[in-house]
Amino acid sequence: MARTKFKYNSETCRYEPFYVKGKTLRKRMLVFILLSFMLAAGGYFWLNNYFETIDELLLEQKNQALKIEWDILRHRVKHVSKDLAHFIDKDDHNYRVILDSPPLSQSIREAGVGGSEKINHKSLKDFPEVLREYTAVEKLQHQLEVEVQSYKEINQMLDRKIAIWAAKPAIQPLSNKDLTYLHTTYGSRMHPILGFIRGHKGLDFSADTGTPVYATGDGRVKNAYYSESFGNVIFLDHLYGYETRYAHLSKFNVKNGQQVKRGEVIGYVGSTGLSGGPHLHYEVLYHDEHINPINFFQRDLNNQEYEKLIELASHPQPPLD
């Protein structure tokens, strides 16, 4: 049961029951409802501003993780760029220099690399930092492809160089220990048997009959036969334009068409054909032109061997063929 309120009446000097009128009651109720609504709205905004929702917390965590991944990615791109620059430098200034090849032009290295317009991800245009990194990665990818292709090319050039180095006549056809004299006469001279001036397009190595004769480079036996002037002679085809000839042999150690390696015994010193005594007549040709063989074997001699060679060649001896 509701309690009855009393109000003092100064006219009657008595406390009399007091009843709130319906109009006043409605006003108070309206004020109460309005205040309650304002309080609820304020509380809602306050909660929203000072406390994040679970979704917001999750998004924030995800954002942090993405930022860390982004930093790691940028660091890796920087690291790979540095490594690639090192490889490009080696390519241009070491490997290609050794292989007598010019460095790759900048236009080849830059070809195919565009700016941001090359990127199809239009949405990235709103994120310049991401777009910049994306462009850098694209450029890096292109440079890497060019460099991989360049290293393949270098590898092919190296294989060819190795094959040429292996094929090129580069050693003495006789061991220095077996040599008794080196006739360095190259060019016209009086032939000891024919008795007239004739060109001498090789070097003569005096040694005992049966001394091993070595192939001076990798190659194929083009011809091993007997000729009246050369006697038993071997022609070696070394490819890449080089050919060597070994004449006056006592015996062959190879057959026509056989592949030989540098340093392999192909025959033995003799005095067959037009020869004044046991020796090896050795010729080197490049693209069918004779070259003085002395330019092709000094490099494999040490100082003592070279001095012995000079000593053996210093006292004039009569020609042998």
Binding site for Zn ion (CB under 5 A): 202, 204, 281, 321
| Residue pointed to by tokens 């194929």 | 220
Shortest Å distance, C-beta 184 to Zn ion: 11
Q: Which residue is nearest to Zn ion (CB)?
A: 281
Nearer to Zn ion (CB atom), residue 192 or residue 241: 192
> How far, in Å, are 108, 178, 242 from residue 309 at the CA level?
51, 11, 24
Q: Which lies closer to Zn ion via its Cβ, residue 81 or residue 180?
A: 180
Shortest Å, Cβ 193 to Zn ion = 11
Taking residue 224's Cβ as centre, other Cβ atoms within 10 Å add up to 21
Burial 259-272 (b: 16+ CB within 10 A, else e): ebebeeebbbbbbb
Nearer Cβ to Zn ion, position 91 or 204?
204
Shortest Å distance, C-beta 171 to Zn ion: 19
Which segments within the chain are labelled E, that is strand?
Answer: 5-9, 14-18, 181-183, 187-190, 197-200, 203-206, 212-214, 219-227, 231-239, 242-252, 259-260, 265-269, 279-286, 289-291
CA distance 292 to 134: 61
Return the number of the residue (202 or 217) whose C-beta is nearest Zn ion. Answer: 202
Packing angle, helices 54-90 and 128-167, rounded to 10? 30
Burial 190-220 (b: 16+ CB within 10 A, else e): ebeeeeeeeebbbbbbbbebebbbbbbbbbb
Both tokens assigned to 228:
């009246």
- Pull the structure tokens for residue 51: 């406390």
* 3-class SS string, 58-75: HHHHHHHHHHHHHHHHHH
CA–CA separation, 225 and 220 (whole Å): 14
Shortest CB 153 distance to Zn ion, Å: 43
Nearer to Zn ion, 202 or 231 (CB): 202
Give the nearest distance from C-beta 100 to Zn ion in angstroms.
Answer: 34
Give the chain's count of helices (H) and strands (E).
6, 14
Question: Which of residues 63 and 227 has its CB atom nearest to Zn ion in the complex?
Answer: 227
| Least distance in angstroms from the C-beta of 235 to Zn ion | 15
Q: Which is nearer to Zn ion, 22 or 318 (CB)?
A: 318
Give the nearer residue to Zn ion in terms of CB position, either 103 or 276: 276
Q: Shortest gap between Cβ of 89 and Zn ion (angstroms)? A: 51
| 159 touches 151 (CB < 8 A) | no
Nearer residue to Zn ion within complex by CB, 63 or 295: 295
**DSSP category for residue 270:** B
Least Å distance, CB 90 to Zn ion, is 47
For residue 283, the minimal CB distance to Zn ion (Å) is: 8
Compute how many other C-beta atoms are within 10 angstroms of the C-beta atom of residue 291.
16
